[in-house]
Amino acid sequence: MSKFAFIMLLIVSMFRCAMLSAETDMPDPLADAKTGEWVLYEMPGGMQQRQTIISVDDNSVTVKMETIINGTVLSSIEEKMDRSDTTQPAITDMDGATSYNGSVQIKGKQIPCSVYEVSVNGRVSRTYMSNEVPVTGLIKSEMDGNAALQLVDYGSK
């Protein structure tokens, strides 16, 4: 599997984890999603990903995900997410998972968040999420302390 394909798989997997319903103890930023909200992430190797909410209705949210390198959009996909879909496993249901409160500074603003930590085979994965961040609520995902995806900016139209 190429590095690009692996990173895209990682992004989609993290995106799906972030889409858990309000029935879990995870933040649920889609509960009040609005068309035009967006987030911009940086990944290793200079890649970026921009996620933008392009439509919202009572049952679903459609998100456009663009992967960008050096200002050029390499890929663009749209995914319609069912707000009531509870089939995705919760991070907190995984063996060895813990959660705690934390905060992360983004663009000079301290954002309170929930941190979900999973240890598998001696490796530690942490996911930082907050309802203050639009689209999926994802602030950062890291493996063994190294960021795989880091929020750098967010907003709306």
Kindly report, residue by residue over 65-121, the tens digit of the pLDDT.
999 999 999 999 999 988 776 555 555 556 668 889 999 999 899 999 999 998 888
pLDDT higher than 70, residue 128: yes
| Per-residue burial over 5-19, b = 16 or more CB atoms within 10 Å of its CB, e = otherwise | eebbeebeebbbbbb
pLDDT in tens, 47-61: 999 999 999 998 999
What's the token pair of residue 55? 């439509």
> Is pLDDT at 143 greater than 70 in this prediction?
yes
Rounded to an integer, what distance in angstroms lies between the CA atom of residue 148 and that of residue 73?
19
Mean pLDDT to the nearest integer, 25-29: 66
Planar angle of CA 65, 37, 51, nearest 5 degrees: 15
pTM here is 0.77
